[in-house]
Structure 1
Amino acid sequence: MSESAVDPDEVAHVAELARVNLDPGERERFTEQFADILASFETLDEVPEVDPETELTNVMRPDEVEASLGQDEALENAPESEDGFFKGPRVS
């Protein structure tokens, strides 16, 4: 890039806000990198817009109520239960 959209003083200001210490060599390197990043975003501006799809359909199945286990059946194979609930190990 011949003309940078970012100058080293802006990089120093952003680094100060982020509490990052940059030496002069790093500031120059980051200035070039930021300019390259901004150029990449300018390239994205050239991507044509796409019309959204107008007809979207729900591909999920509808919810259906089905019979489930009763409380006694659910607790039948539990290693431990108490007052109608599963009982697990104490977490400390």
Structure 2
Amino acid sequence: MSHLSRADVARLAALARIDMNDADLDRLSGQIDAIVDAVALVSEVANQDVPATSHPIPMSNVHRVDEVRPSLAQADALAAAPEAEDGRFRVPRILGEEA
């Protein structure tokens, strides 16, 4: 069983540039300890006989043929837009950079 001290948690918070008050440090030192212990238990169980998995059931990709089908005309799509420009939707600039 590992034990992370309050000073360890404060150091981790400083490295992550997270400002924590005394109450947060006290609370998180116990919670982080529980997380580290849980990871240690999983590490004990997992060995070379247990294959690594990302999903509990097998998954496969579903592919379909990429074929051209009739779709909405450009003018119809832009008809409901608040603003359009040069055949595209016009939206407000969100970045302060010049185009």
Q: TM-score, structure 1 length as denominator?
A: 0.50
Find out whether 1:21 has 2:25 as its counterpart.
no
Using a 3 Å threshold, how does the CA distance of structure 1 residues 62 and 41 change in structure 2: closer, same or farther?
same
Residues in 2 aligned to 1:46 and 1:36: alpha-carbon distance in whole angstroms: 15
Match of 1:47 among 45, 48, 62: 45
Residues in 2 aligned to 1:59 and 1:15: alpha-carbon distance in whole angstroms: 41
Using a 3 Å threshold, how does the CA distance of structure 1 residues 62 and 43 change in structure 2: closer, same or farther?
same
Listed as ranges, the gaps of 5+ residues in structure 2 are: 53-59, 79-83, 91-99
Larger Rg computed on CA atoms: 1
Per the TM alignment, residue 8 of structure 1 is displaced from its structure 2 partner at its CA by 1.4
Residues in 1 aligned to 2:26 and 2:40: alpha-carbon distance in whole angstroms: 21
Q: TM-score, structure 2 length as denominator?
A: 0.48
Residues in 1 aligned to 2:7 and 2:61: alpha-carbon distance in whole angstroms: 53
Find out whether 1:38 has 2:36 as its counterpart.
yes
Tell me, what secondary structure is at the counterpart of 1:32? helix
Tell me, what secondary structure is at the counterpart of 1:50? coil
Residues in 2 aligned to 1:61 and 1:25: alpha-carbon distance in whole angstroms: 52
Letter in 1 for 2:43: D
Letter in 2 for 1:37: I
RMSD between superposed Cα atoms in Å: 3.7
Give the count of matched residue pairs: 72
Residues in 2 aligned to 1:50 and 1:17: alpha-carbon distance in whole angstroms: 34
